[in-house]
């Protein structure tokens, strides 16, 4: 019998919201809000979960589980590893987290990543990081039919600052930059992530179809921003409007990556890219609420260099990049009617095992 502690971080998407599920590139940073899956193995043949923060309990046998409930992350991850566990495998598992839920910092993906880390260790598989991240993606998105991409799972497993191409062969690179000044501003307004992403993806694909009708060589990865913007001005279609956002954000990601890779990105330039990213979210995705925009202005007036929406939008939270003025900006956001958290860059998935 062993005690396994699997811990995985939330993440901030620095550049690339909504482009990961369109197979483009993203840049993320892991944060020091984490979820822990702590369990002691036994020979009972039963897996018992205690979700401490939610005050919920869950017990099931060591056999393949039906996936007939939305967001059943525990059973979805377990199913991926069940065949590799001993027949009499059992465990008593406790889950705790300080990751904000529904605020665009990837609490669900961190949960899946921590679960993958736990069951990988329990099964003695010793999977490399890429396979751990891929399994977390399979469990959350593919097996449960959720509409997101793979950015969040890779960001949580690999940690620190990460550049990821969300298409085969899934090239990735750990960036050596260390980000200071992370403030998360919370609008205290709930967002509807799954519904928003599903609708938005349909609108983006509508825009792609329109572009291909006039130019069959159109390619989301390489066609120019100016061509998409011109088409939107001519046709004024919502699909093309969303496509302007996607291609605009794509170019922001690439600009940020090349400067970060070469250690050329100064705070003022970083803030300018954040602002341009937010511009596309606000004006072409139309997913920034007035309350968020008001809080962003308050943050800027208090010393934040740049702000951008986090996650799918229409509520949730935003990044206020505020090096050297984190506490001042956070306090201003709170006084303005929101909430705020000063965070640090953090490591990725960590699994520790103790023999009992």
Between CA 169 and CA 264 the distance in angstroms is 27
Domain span holding position 252: 182-343
Between CA 240 and CA 234 the distance in angstroms is 10
CA within 13 Å, CB half, 173: 13
225 and 326 belong to one structural domain: yes
50 and 198 belong to one structural domain: no
CA within 13 Å, CB half, 99: 29
pLDDT at site 101: 82
Confidence class of residue 193 from pLDDT cuts 50, 70 and 90? low
90 and 222 belong to one structural domain: no
159 and 202 belong to one structural domain: no
- Rounded to the nearest angstrom, the gap between the alpha carbon of residue 339 and the centroid of all alpha carbons in its chain is 20
Number of domains the chain contains: 2
Mean pLDDT of 164-192: 92
> How many helices and strands in the chain, by DSSP H and E?
10, 12
Find, among 265, 267, 268, 277, the residue nearest to 310 by Cα: 277
149 and 201 belong to one structural domain: no
pLDDT at site 18: 87
Mean pLDDT of 13-30: 95
Between CA 4 and CA 7 the distance in angstroms is 10
74 and 158 belong to one structural domain: yes
Q: What is the CATH number of the domain that holds 117?
A: 3.30.230.10
218 and 78 belong to one structural domain: no
Structure pTM? 0.94
169 and 250 belong to one structural domain: no
Q: Report CA torsion sign: 230, 234, 239, 242.
A: positive
Say which range, 118-122, 195-199, 300-304, has the weakest mean pLDDT.
195-199
Confidence class of residue 194 from pLDDT cuts 50, 70 and 90? low
Interval 47-104: pLDDT, tens: 999 999 999 999 999 999 999 999 999 999 999 999 999 999 999 999 999 998 877 8
Residue 318 is encoded by which pair of tokens? 């935003």
336 and 190 belong to one structural domain: yes
pLDDT at site 192: 67
Percent of the chain with pLDDT over 70: 99
141 and 187 belong to one structural domain: no
Mean pLDDT of 197-223: 95
pLDDT at site 131: 98
192 and 94 belong to one structural domain: no
Q: What is the CATH number of the domain that holds 239?
A: 3.30.70.890
pLDDT at site 147: 77
pLDDT at site 206: 97
36 and 100 belong to one structural domain: yes
Mean pLDDT of 274-291: 96
């Amino acid at each position: 019998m062993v005690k396994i502690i699997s811990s995985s971080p939330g993440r901030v998407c620095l550049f690339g919201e909504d482009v990961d599920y369109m197979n483009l590139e993203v840049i993320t940073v892991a944060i020091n809000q984490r979820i822990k899956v702590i369990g002691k193995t036994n020979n009972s043949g039963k897996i018992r979960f205690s979700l401490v923060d939610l005050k919920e309990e869950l017990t099931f046998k060591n056999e393949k589980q039906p996936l007939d409930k939305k967001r059943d992350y525990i059973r979805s991850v377990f199913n991926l590893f069940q065949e590799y566990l001993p027949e009499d495998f059992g465990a008593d598992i406790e889950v705790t987290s300080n990751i904000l839920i529904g605020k665009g910092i990837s609490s669900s993906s961190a949960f899946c990543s921590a679960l993958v880390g736990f069951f990988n260790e329990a099964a003695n598989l010793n999977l490399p990081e890429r396979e751990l991240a891929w399994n977390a993606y399979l469990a959350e998105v593919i097996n449960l039919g959720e509409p997101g991409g793979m950015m969040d799972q890779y960001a949580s497993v690999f940690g620190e600052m990460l550049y990821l191409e969300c298409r085969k062969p899934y090239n990735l690179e750990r960036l050596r930059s260390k980000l200071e000044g992370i403030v998360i501003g919370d609008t205290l307004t709930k967002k509807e992530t799954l519904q928003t992403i599903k609708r938005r993806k349909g609108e983006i694909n509508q825009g792609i179809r329109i572009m291909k009708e006039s130019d069959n060589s159109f390619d989301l990865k390489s066609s120019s921003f100016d061509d998409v913007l011109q088409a939107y001005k001519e046709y004024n279609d919502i699909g093309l409007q969303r496509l302007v956002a996607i291609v605009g954000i794509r170019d922001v990601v690439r600009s940020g990556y090349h400067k970060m890779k070469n250690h050329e990105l100064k705070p003022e330039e970083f803030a300018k890219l954040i602002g341009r990213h937010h511009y596309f979210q606000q004006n072409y995705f139309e997913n920034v609420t007035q309350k968020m925009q008001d809080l962003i202005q308050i943050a800027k007036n208090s010393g934040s260099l740049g702000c951008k929406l986090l996650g799918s939008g229409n509520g949730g939270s935003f990044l206020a990049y505020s090096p050297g003025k984190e506490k001042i900006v956070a306090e201003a956001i709170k006084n303005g009617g929101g909430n705020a958290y000063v965070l640090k860059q953090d490591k990725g998935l960590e699994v520790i095992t103790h023999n009992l």
